[in-house]
Amino acid sequence: MTNTDGLLAAYDEQMRGVPPNLPAGVVAEQDGPVLRLTGQFRGFVSTPPDLGVDGAELDLLIARQRDHFAARGESLEWKTRGHDRPAALPDRPAALPDRLRAAGFLPEERETVLIGRAREMAAEPVLPDGVALRQVTADADMRRIAAMESVVWGQDWAWLGDDLIARVAAAPDEVAVFVAEAGGEVVSAAWLVVRTGTDFAGLWGGSTLQEWRGRGIYRALVAVRASVAAARGIRYLQVDASDDSAPILRRLGFHAVTTTTPYVWSPPQSG
């Protein structure tokens, strides 16, 4: 039987705080209990499981982060987890998400945090006919990934190409990027991000063009990244999974430990 409480404790201990080897131009700042990252496509705030502040003090902490990025004219993502505190109680109805909403933050889609053991997920990838996997490092391939993601999400995801390029440049041994290609077209892409000094690596990406979904490409990308992680002695794989990918990952043996919801504040539109 898997001890999900132990997995969650390991996640809280090792997957929060300042990431190692930040890309050029990204700055980490501590403001009381929160970690603030500046210099990405939008600002980012992460916290420990227990902020240790509540009420007016918490409202001021939230406002400081919002105002910091407002002065830069940038959006801000505050990453919450379902088990974080302060939570709502009978004598404290305003939990952290309520206070973020009151400060002008809006929730994006909730995802499930899943953790699996790399060696159990490692396997030879099985692909549909006509599809091949390739590990990529070239800037041009990162731009192709961003173009594919833009089609999937119906938004301009050019920032993702810049982000992947910066990650590879900062720490090439910590990032393994894979594309699934058919007829020279990128139909899916995913990457492994090693958190140096911990037992963890994160699985990110996995979006697939509509006409190629349901054919096992996502599972193949999990298998190849797990194999890379297992070969490096990484113990755990962590995923922030959408409702589409979470059932696939559960069937592969991943375990849900909590949820995560980004709360995003955006500057008012001028005009």
- The full DSSP string for 168-181 is HHH-GGGEEEEEEE
151, 81: one domain? no
Q: What is the pLDDT of residue 270?
A: 60
Domain count within the chain: 2
Residue 265 lies in a domain: no
Confidence band for 1, pLDDT divided at 50, 70 and 90: very low
How far does the chain reach from its first CA to its final CA, in angstroms?
Answer: 58
Q: Which of 64, 93, 111 is the last residue of a domain?
A: 111
Last residue of a domain, one of 111, 142, 168: 111
Mean pLDDT of 7-32: 92
95/140 same-domain check = no
What average pLDDT does range 3-13 have in this prediction?
A: 93
Please tell me whether residues 90 and 181 are part of one structural domain. no
- 102 with 147, same domain: the answer is no
pLDDT of residue 271: 55
How many angstroms separate the CA atoms of 227 and 124, rounded?
A: 8
Q: Are residues 77 and 183 in the same domain?
A: no
Nearest to 53 by CA among 43, 44, 63, 68: 63
Give tens-digit pLDDT for 136-180: 999 999 999 999 999 999 999 999 999 999 999 999 999 999 999
104 plus 127 within the same structural domain: no
Interior angle at CA 201, CA 206 and CA 42, nearest 5: 65
Same domain, 67 and 25: yes
pLDDT at 90: 47
- Residues 170, 94 within the same domain: no
Whether residues 245 and 123 fall in one domain: yes
Q: Residue 79: count other Cβ atoms within 10 Å of its Cβ.
A: 16
Provide the 8-state DSSP code for 43: E
In a domain, residue 159? The reply is yes
Task: Indicate the pLDDT class of residue 94, thresholds 50, 70 and 90.
Answer: low
In a domain, 140, yes or no: yes
Find the helix packing angle between 158-170 and 139-153, rounded to 10°. 140
In a domain, 264, yes or no: no
In-domain check, residue 271: no
| Domain end call among 47, 80, 111 | 111
Task: Please indicate, yes or no, whether residues 63 and 177 belong to a single structural domain of this protein.
Answer: no
What domain range is 18 assigned to?
A: 4-111
Kindly state the average pLDDT of the residues 171-194.
Answer: 97
Q: Is the pLDDT reported for residue 93 higher than 80?
A: no
DSSP one-letter code for 42: S
